[in-house]
Amino acid sequence: MGRVEDVIEPVVGLAAGGGVVVLSGAGLSTESGIPDYRGPSGVARRQQPMTYQTFVGDGQARRRYWARSHLGWRLVARAAPNDGHRAVARLQRGGLVTGVITQNVDGLHTAAGSRDVVELHGRLDAVVCLACGDRTTRQELDGRLRRVNPDFAGRGAAVNPDGDVELDDAEVAAFRTVDCRACGGLLKPDVVFFGETVPAGRVRRCFALVQQARLLLVLGSSLTVLSGRRFVTAAARHGVPVVIVNQGVTRGDGHARLRVDAALGRWLPALADRLLTGEPAPRDPRPVPVAPGGTAGLVA
């Protein structure tokens, strides 16, 4: 057992010199109302996430995606950064965080004030034409979809991290899609679907940030997907310490110097206060269990 400060101080020792690169996942956005798939607030989904191959090759599947995403986008668009996002931005302004890589597509790091965020999987608020490459905002597309679907009143379940909701077949069948205004080509949200590769330049930028880091701080990711986990293995290969803060085990735990089981909206502001003001983390009378292998768990 331990105290809140006991699970902050070991990270302070690694982060105080700066050079921290953040790698964030869906768990950082749960306190903004966007559930993850695998954590304590995760949502179970009946259907697999859309793949790129299915999206471009199956018109009915594409209609289903846009109908679901049309509703889910409204929920994501209303989401606001939480204290965890704001703490990362504070640490960056304070010169301690030198790079932010996120697997999330919600844009909340930038909304919180972080700069030059590498959005590994793109952003849900942008749309691209697969034929001519024309780019538009999701807000513009939302207006077009509303106009051609004036009576669409689907009632979706909870939004998923990739910005869609579950709808039944009858609701999907009534939905109309639109094509690119410039050339009539297929429109796609500017996010990386399953089966699609992350742009090579984006990946190189992430590897460069990790190699130059003094600490890789993983926030709210189970590291199940290789596109994020590879940066943890790269950090370990280059001798860069890895700290993972996540509610639950991750596939990167074997490379971590320390793993903290924490609610990020509480833990990250306390870390930022400690690093930026020099004041000790506030004492908390609740016990903090420490699991075998040096894994610290913060009781939320």
pLDDT at position 299, please?
31
Does the pLDDT of residue 45 top 60, yes or no? no
Average confidence score pLDDT of the chain: 86
Residues annotated in a binding site for NAD(+): 103-106, 220-222, 246-248, 264
Domain harbouring 119, CATH code: 3.40.50.1220
Identify the band that residue 233 occupies on the pLDDT scale cut at 50, 70 and 90. very high
Does the pLDDT of residue 223 top 60, yes or no? yes
Identify the band that residue 286 occupies on the pLDDT scale cut at 50, 70 and 90. very low
Q: Which two tokens stand for residue 223?
A: 């590291």
Q: What is the pLDDT of residues 91-146, one digit of tens each?
A: 999 999 999 999 999 999 999 999 999 999 999 999 999 999 999 999 999 999 99
Does residue 107 lie within any of the structural domains?
Answer: yes
pLDDT at position 180, please?
98
Q: How far apart (Å, rounded) are the C-alpha atoms in residues 83 and 28?
A: 10
Does residue 185 lie within any of the structural domains?
Answer: no
Does residue 180 lie within any of the structural domains?
Answer: no
Identify the band that residue 282 occupies on the pLDDT scale cut at 50, 70 and 90. low
Identify the CA nearest to 269 among candidates 282, 284, 257.
282
Does residue 34 lie within any of the structural domains?
Answer: yes
Number of domains comprising the chain: 1
pTM value is: 0.86
pLDDT at position 227, please?
93
Does residue 293 lie within any of the structural domains?
Answer: yes
pLDDT at position 41, please?
43
Helix (H) or strand (E) holding 119: strand 118-119
b (16+ CB within 10 A) / e for 175-187: bebeebeeeebbb
User: What's 282's DSSP letter?
Assistant: P
Identify the band that residue 74 occupies on the pLDDT scale cut at 50, 70 and 90. confident
Does residue 181 lie within any of the structural domains?
Answer: no
Residues annotated in a binding site for Zn(2+): 129, 132, 180, 183
Domain interval for residue 18: 4-54+81-137+194-297
Does residue 203 lie within any of the structural domains?
Answer: yes
pLDDT at position 205, please?
98
Does the pLDDT of residue 289 top 50, yes or no? no
Does residue 173 lie within any of the structural domains?
Answer: no
Identify the band that residue 162 occupies on the pLDDT scale cut at 50, 70 and 90. low
> 70, 85, 109, 121: which is the annotated catalytic residue?
121
Q: Are 102 and 192 in contact (CB under 8 A)?
A: no
For the question of residue 121 being annotated catalytic, the response is yes
